[in-house]
Structure 1
Amino acid sequence: MFRWLEHRVESFPAEQPSMPPASFWGFVFHYTRPFWPLIGLSAALSATIALIEVSLFGFLGNLVDWLSKADRATFWETHGTFLLGMSAVVLLVLPTLKFFYESVVHQGLLSSFTMRTRWQAHRYVLRQSMAFFNNDFAGRVATKVMQTAMSVREVVMKITEVLLYVAIYFTGAVFLFAATDLRLSAPLLLWLAGYLVAMRYFIPRLGKISHIQSDARSVMTGRIVDTYTNISTVKMFAHADREDSYAQESMSHFLDTVREQLRLVTLLTVALNCLNAALLFSVAATSLWLWSIDAVTTGAIALSVGLVLRLQGMSHWIMWEVAGLFENVGVVQDGLETIAQERSIVDAPDAKKLVVTKGEIQFDHIRFNYGRDVGTGRGSVIEDLSLRVAPGEKVGLVGRSGAGKSTLVSLLMRFYDLDGGKVLIDGQDVAHVTQDSLRAQIGMVTQDTSLLHRSVMENILYGRPDAVEADAIAAAKKAAAHDFINNLEDLKDRSGYEAHVGERGVKLSGGQRQRVAIARVLLKDAPILVLDEATSALDSEVEAAIQEQLVNLMKGKTVIAIAHRLSTIAAMDRLIIMDEGRIVEQGTHADLLRRGGLYAELWARQSGGFLAQDAAE
C-alpha cells in the first residue's frame, strides 16, 4: 500500500512543463492538480476523525451522568453494549482511520508533492533565456525554486486538512454545547469572534512580513553564493572584509524582518492567552451556574470544561498553523514572481528540427540592442548588419571590445531574439527551428569556460552523451589534455578522468579548463564551429600543441572565430572587421593590411616578435 501511494502520482513526469499562471491561486492549483484525489481523500479522513473525536466528549458527558445515577449491580447490563461499541471506536475505528490518514499524507503527499513541484519548476526555469539568468543571482533563483515548492504543498495541506479539521471540530463543539443548553454555546461563540478579530489583525501582517522575509532570505542566499562562486576574485583583490559588509547588509535586512515577525507573534500569543483564559472562566462559570439552577447535569460540566481545555490546546496549534499558512502564502507570492515569468525565447509553434547539409550562415539586415530603445534604434549593439558565410568558409571576427562580435555569435545561437532581420542557416530561419536542434549543430568554445562540478569524463561527454569513454579520451588527446587529466586527483581520492573539477571547474587552471572545453567540442563534431577567444587562456607552447588539432577540427566545417590575438585568426579565409555594431571592412589579412584601415591599426598596436614574424611570413 505504501508503494502504491508513493507512486500514485509520478514525481518526475517526462512531458515539458507549461508556464504556471501568475496569479496566486492559479499558480497553486497548477502544481496541485495531480494530487487532488489524494488531497480529497485525506480531507475526508481528517473530517471523519474530527467528528469522532468531538463525539467522544459527548460520550464522556453521558458517562459521567450514568455513573452519578447508575446502580453498580445493573450498570454493565444496562450500558455494556454501548460501552463495547465505544471501545471498538476508540481501539479499532479511530486508529484505523488515523493509519489510513497518515499513510495518505506521508506516503501519498509529503513524499511526492514537493519533489514534483520542484522538478516542474526547475525544468521550466532551466529553459528561460540567457537574459533571465544574467539579471538575477543563481543562488537566489535556486532558493526560490526550492522554497516555493515546499510552500505550495504547505498552503494546500493546511487549508484542506488543518482548517477543515478545525472547522468541523469547532462546529461539532458548538452543537454539543447547544444540545446541552443553548446558553453554554454563547461563551464559545464570543471566543470565536474574539479569535477571528485577533487573526484578522495579526495574520495579514504576518503574511506581508513573510513575503518580505522570503525575498530577503533569497537575496541573502544569493549574495553569499555569489561570493563563494567568485572566491578567486575575492582572494585576488583581498576583499574578504568588503564581502563581509556585502553579506552583512543582506543579513541585517533579513534579521530586521525576523524581529518584526517575532514581535507580531509575541503580541498574537498574548492576545490568544487572554482569550483562552476568558473562555475557560466563562464556560466553567456558566456551566456551574446552569447546574446550580438544575438546567444541566454534572456530565454537561465535564463535557463543557473538557472540551474547552481541548480547544485551548488546539487554539495555539491553530494559531501557528494559520500563521504558517500565511507565511507560506508570502513565500509562494514571492516565488511565483520569479518562476511564473513568460519565457522570452521560445520555439515557434511550427518549429522544425534544423537540418544542416552545407553549413551556410546568413545574417540578413539584423538589428539588436538588448531591448534598449527598440522604437528608435538608438543605442543599438548591432544595426542593419548583413553578412554571408559560405559553406565551409573560415571567417574571423575582429574589432574593439564592444563592437558586437560576441553578440553576433549569441544571435546565431539564438540566446536572444532579434529586433529586426533574420539569421539563416542553410536558408532556415533560426527563429523557426527548435532551439535544441539549432545548438546541436553548432560547436562553441568561449573565452570564459565554465565546467560542471562533475568528473572530467562527464564534462567531455557533455559534448556527445552517447559517445563511449574511448571517444572522449581520444578527444582529450587531440586537445592536448590527456596528460594533465591523468595526473588529477580530488579530495575524495578520485583520479584521472573520474576526478571532479569543482564548481565552474575552479580546480583546473584556465588553460586546463580551456583544453577540456576544446575536447568537448571536438567530441561534439558539429558542422558549424564558433570559437570565441578559444585559445586566449592557453600559453604559447600549449596553443602551438593544439593549433594543428584546431586546424583539423575546422576541416569541412563552417567556422566563425573571434580573437583579440590577431595572429590566431590571420590565416582565416576572410576577416570581418566590426565597429559599433557594423561591418566596416572585410577581406584577407594581406588585403586589409594594404588598405591601412581599422584592421591595420589594430594589427600595428599588437607588438612582439611573433607578430612581426607572422607578418613577414
Structure 2
Amino acid sequence: MLFRWFEALIDAFKDPVDGMPPTSVWRFYAFYLRQVWPVFAVAIAVGFMVAIVEVSLFGFIGRIVDMARGAPAADFFRQHGNELLWMGFVALIVRPLAIGVHDLLVNQAIVPSLTNRIRWQNHRYVIRQSLGFFQNDYAGRIANRIMQTGGALRESAVQIVDAIWYVTIYTGSAIVLFAQADLWLAVPLVAWVFAYVGLLAFFIPRIKQRSWLASEARSKLMGRIVDGYGNVLTLKLFAHTRREEAYVADAMAEQTDKLRRMTRVTTALDASITTLNGFLIVGTSALALWLWSEGRVTVGAIALSTGLVIRINNMSGWIMWVVNGIFENVGTVQDGITTISRPRAVQDRKGAMPLEVTSGAVHFHDIHFHYGKQGGVIAGLELAVRAGEKIGLVGPSGAGKSTLVNVLLRLYDLEAGRILIDGQDIAGVTQESLRSQIGVVTQDTSLLHRSIRDNILYGRPDASEAQIAEAVRKARADEFIPALVDGEGRTGYEALVGERGVKLSGGQRQRIAIARVLLKDAPILVLDEATSALDSEAEAAIQDSLDLLMQGKTVIAIAHRLSTIARMDRLVVLDKGRIVETGTHAGLVARDGLYARLWKRQTGGFVAVEDESA
C-alpha cells in the first residue's frame, strides 16, 4: 500500500502541452521537471535532512570521545545518558526514516514514472512528425534517442539534487565544526574546496562535450544495427554479411574512439581528485595533531577532523563520479534534443476542424510541390475528380503520380495551390480526420508485427467480429487465415505476422491490407501500385477484391501495369508534374500519344481489358 501511494505521485502518461520541446538543454530539463516540481521539492527537502543527519553522526563521534575523556567511567551514562539517547534516536529512527522516505520518492515515484513520462511525451511529439522526418533518419536511432533521453534526464536530475546537498552540507558543516575547534583547522578544507571546484570547472565542460559526441556515435551505431536487422532479407539475398559487418564495425570503431576520448578526461579527473584528497587528509590530520600538541584542540577534535576528512575524501570520489555521470547524462540529453526538439513540418492549423465528406469530390487547384529540389515535381497541376468517379493516374517514373497522392494525404504540405475535398481545403482540417476519410492500398504493404486480427482492426478498431469476418471474406483472405500458425503456436486471427508482415506472402499481405481498408470503408480510395508487386495469377485473384473495394467510392488509382487501371472511368496521364493527356483507355490508345506508347511497351498488359466500344 505504501509503495503504491508513492508510485501514484507521478502519472507516467500525462499528456503534454502539444508544442515542440525546448532546444536549449537547461530549458529542456525545466520543461519536464516543472511538471513534477512538488515531488522534487519534497525530495530536495528530504535530501537536505539526510545530509544533515549524516554530518551529525561525525559530530557525535567527536563528542563521544570528549565525553569519555571528561567523565569517570562509572558516572559516564548517568552524566550523559540523555545526550546518548538523543544520538541513538537520530541514528536508529531519524536516519532510517529520512533515507527511507528519500528512497521511496526516488525509486518508487521518480525513477519509473518520470522516466516514462518523458519518453511518453517525447514519443507523442515525434510520432506526429511528418513523413519526411522519418525518411531522413534511422528508425533505430530515433527510438534509441527517445528511450535514452528519458532515463538520462531523470538520472542526472536526481544526481544533481543529491550531489548539491552532500557537497553543501558536508563541506559547509565540516568548515563550521573545524572552525569551532580552531580556525586554523579549517584552512586545509577551505583550500581543498577551492581546488576541488577548480578541477571540476576545468574538466566537466570537456566531459560534457565528449559525452555528447559519444552519445551521438552510440545512436549512430544503434541506427546501423537496427537498419541491418530490419533489412536482413536483403542482406542475405545479396550475400553481404561481411559488408554489413564492416558497416557496423565502422560505426562501432567511431563510438569506441569517442568513448575513449571521454574516459581519458574522466581518468585524468580521477587522478587529480585522488591526489588533492591525499593532501587534504595529510594536511588536516597533521594540523590537528600539531594543534592538539599545542593544547589548542581536544582529542575529540582530532577524531572529528580526521574522521570527517576521510568521509569527505570518500564523498569527493562519489561526487566526482556523480558529476561525471551528470554531465554524461546531460550529453545524452543534448544528443536526444537534436532529434526530439525539431519543429513539425506538417501541422494542423490553429482551430482546424474535422473534415466532413458528403460526396467525395476532390479538386487539385493549381498545386505546386517539390521535395527540396530545384524545379517542380508538380507545377501548376489542375485536376477535378467528381464524386464517385474512378480515375487512373498514368505516367513514367518520376512523373509525380505518388507525389500527388502524398500531398492529397497531406504527408507533405503544398508550396502553392489548394486541394479541396467537397469544397473544404485540406490544409484547414485536422490531419487525423483527413486520413480517416481516405482508404489507401499501397504496393509495399506494411503490416505491424502484431496479430492478424490487430492488423485488420487498424481499419476500424471498434469493428465487430461479424464486420471483421465480412471484410476478410470480401478480400478472400479467409482462404488462408485459418491455416496460419506462428512460431509460438498461435493460429488463425491470433497468429503474429512478423515485422512488416514478412511471414506472409505478397498476395496474403495484400489481401490483409484490402480487408483492413474494406473495414475502414472510407468514401475516398487510393490505390498506389496496389498489385505491381504480385505475379499475374495473384493479381487476377485480388482484382475481384479490389473491384468490391472500389464500389461506391471516389477512386484514384496509380499503376505502372496499365492493365490494372484500364477499366477506370477516366485516365489522367502525367509527365514531369503536369497533365499531358486525359481520357478513356480506348480514346488515349487511338490518340497515339504518351499513353499509347506506354501501352504498346507493355503489349496490352497482363489482364484482359474489356473492349470499351462493345
**TM-score normalised by the chain length of structure 1:** 0.97
Distance 1:339 1:609, change over 3 A: closer
Q: How far off its partner does 1:34 sit?
A: 2.0
Aligned to 1:573: 569
**Using the alignment, how far apart are the partners of 2:605 and 2:7 within structure 1?**
70
Q: Is the counterpart of residue 273 in structure 1 residue 269 in structure 2?
A: no
**Using the alignment, how far apart are the partners of 2:159 and 2:230 within structure 1?**
37
SS class of match (1:387): strand
For the Cα contact (< 8 Å) 1:586–1:592, is it kept in 2? yes
Q: Per-residue displacement from partner, 1:445-482 (whole Å, max 9, x unpaired)?
A: 01111110000110011001010233223212211222
**Using the alignment, how far apart are the partners of 1:108 and 1:610 within structure 2?**
63
SS class of match (2:410): coil
SS class of match (1:146): helix
For the Cα contact (< 8 Å) 1:177–1:304, is it kept in 2? yes
Q: Is the counterpart of residue 89 in structure 1 residue 90 in structure 2?
A: yes
Matched to 2:180, the amino acid is A
% identical aligned pairs = 55
Matched to 1:412, the amino acid is L
**Using the alignment, how far apart are the partners of 2:106 and 2:519 within structure 1?**
48
SS class of match (2:427): helix
Aligned to 2:49: 48
For the Cα contact (< 8 Å) 2:6–2:105, is it kept in 1? yes
> Across the two proteins, how many residue pairs are aligned to each other?
612
Q: Which moved more, 1:462-471 or 1:578-587?
A: 462-471
Aligned to 2:410: 414
Aligned to 1:105: 106
Matched to 1:275, the amino acid is L
Q: How far off its partner does 1:611 sit?
A: 6.1
**Using the alignment, how far apart are the partners of 1:426 and 1:608 within structure 2?**
36
**Using the alignment, how far apart are the partners of 1:37 and 1:479 within structure 2?**
55
Q: Is the counterpart of residue 403 in structure 1 residue 399 in structure 2?
A: yes
Q: Per-residue displacement from partner, 1:289-338 (whole Å, max 9, x unpaired)?
A: 10111110111000000001111111111000000011011111111111
Q: Is the counterpart of residue 437 in structure 1 residue 438 in structure 2?
A: no
**Using the alignment, how far apart are the partners of 1:511 and 1:228 within structure 2?**
24
Q: How does 1:437-456 map to 2 (within 5 A)?
A: 437-456=433-452
**Using the alignment, how far apart are the partners of 1:498 and 1:365 within structure 2?**
47
Distance 1:422 1:168, change over 3 A: same
For the Cα contact (< 8 Å) 1:9–1:34, is it kept in 2? no
**Using the alignment, how far apart are the partners of 2:606 and 2:501 within structure 1?**
31
Q: How far off its partner does 1:30 sit?
A: 1.0
Matched to 2:427, the amino acid is A
Q: How far off its partner does 1:142 sit?
A: 0.4
**Using the alignment, how far apart are the partners of 1:408 and 1:457 within structure 2?**
31
Distance 1:611 1:497, change over 3 A: closer
Q: How far off its partner does 1:162 sit?
A: 2.3
SS class of match (2:295): coil
Q: Per-residue displacement from partner, 1:9-46 (whole Å, max 9, x unpaired)?
A: 21112466432111111111111122111111111111
SS class of match (1:112): helix
Q: How far off its partner does 1:265 sit?
A: 2.0
Matched to 1:216, the amino acid is A
**Using the alignment, how far apart are the partners of 1:476 and 1:194 within structure 2?**
74
Q: Per-residue displacement from partner, 1:260-306 (whole Å, max 9, x unpaired)?
A: 12222222221121111111110110001101111101110000000
Q: How far off its partner does 1:72 sit?
A: 1.8
Match of 2:542 among 539, 546, 549: 546
**Using the alignment, how far apart are the partners of 2:412 and 2:605 within structure 1?**
40
Q: Is the counterpart of residue 161 in structure 1 residue 162 in structure 2?
A: yes
SS class of match (1:73): helix
Q: Per-residue displacement from partner, 1:190-217 (whole Å, max 9, x unpaired)?
A: 1122212221222211111110011100
Aligned to 1:132: 133
Q: How far off its partner does 1:166 sit?
A: 2.1
For the Cα contact (< 8 Å) 2:393–2:557, is it kept in 1? yes
Aligned to 1:473: 469
Match of 1:598 among 594, 602, 609: 594
Matched to 1:179, the amino acid is Q
Q: How far off its partner does 1:510 sit?
A: 1.7
SS class of match (2:501): coil
**Using the alignment, how far apart are the partners of 1:587 and 1:165 within structure 2?**
80
Q: How far off its partner does 1:487 sit?
A: 1.6
Q: Per-residue displacement from partner, 1:481-500 (whole Å, max 9, x unpaired)?
A: 22222221111111111110
Q: Is the counterpart of residue 388 in structure 1 residue 406 in structure 2?
A: no
Q: How far off its partner does 1:245 sit?
A: 1.1
Q: Is the counterpart of residue 123 in structure 1 residue 119 in structure 2?
A: no
SS class of match (1:504): helix
SS class of match (1:100): helix
**Using the alignment, how far apart are the partners of 2:80 and 2:16 within structure 1?**
61
Q: How far off its partner does 1:100 sit?
A: 1.2
Q: How does 1:455-466 map to 2 (within 5 A)?
A: 455-466=451-462
For the Cα contact (< 8 Å) 2:400–2:575, is it kept in 1? yes
**Using the alignment, how far apart are the partners of 2:606 and 2:335 within structure 1?**
57
Q: Which runs of 4+ in 1 moved over 6 A?
A: none
SS class of match (1:513): helix
Aligned to 1:532: 528
For the Cα contact (< 8 Å) 1:187–1:279, is it kept in 2? yes
Matched to 2:143, the amino acid is A
SS class of match (1:343): coil
Distance 1:107 1:613, change over 3 A: closer
Matched to 2:173, the amino acid is G
Matched to 2:599, the amino acid is W
Aligned to 2:205: 204
Q: Per-residue displacement from partner, 1:222-263 (whole Å, max 9, x unpaired)?
A: 011011111111111111111111101100000101211222
Aligned to 1:3: 4
Aligned to 1:61: 62
**Using the alignment, how far apart are the partners of 2:294 and 2:9 within structure 1?**
58
Q: Per-residue displacement from partner, 1:150-180 (whole Å, max 9, x unpaired)?
A: 1111222122222223212211111111111
Q: Which moved more, 1:93-102 or 1:445-454?
A: 93-102
Q: How far off its partner does 1:610 sit?
A: 4.5
Q: How far off its partner does 1:608 sit?
A: 6.2
Q: Which moved more, 1:562-571 or 1:14-23?
A: 14-23
Q: Is the counterpart of residue 586 in structure 1 residue 556 in structure 2?
A: no
For the Cα contact (< 8 Å) 1:457–1:469, is it kept in 2? no
Aligned to 2:353: 352
Matched to 1:67, the amino acid is A
SS class of match (2:500): coil
For the Cα contact (< 8 Å) 2:599–2:605, is it kept in 1? no
For the Cα contact (< 8 Å) 2:564–2:607, is it kept in 1? no
**Using the alignment, how far apart are the partners of 1:15 and 1:145 within structure 2?**
15
Which runs of 5 or more structure 1 residues have no equivalent in the other structure? 373-377
Aligned alpha-carbon RMSD (Å): 1.5
Q: How far off its partner does 1:547 sit?
A: 1.8
Matched to 1:221, the amino acid is M
Q: Which moved more, 1:52-61 or 1:337-346?
A: 52-61
**TM-score normalised by the chain length of structure 2:** 0.97
**Using the alignment, how far apart are the partners of 1:484 and 1:177 within structure 2?**
83
**Using the alignment, how far apart are the partners of 2:205 and 2:465 within structure 1?**
58
Q: How far off its partner does 1:361 sit?
A: 0.1
**Using the alignment, how far apart are the partners of 2:319 and 2:192 within structure 1?**
14
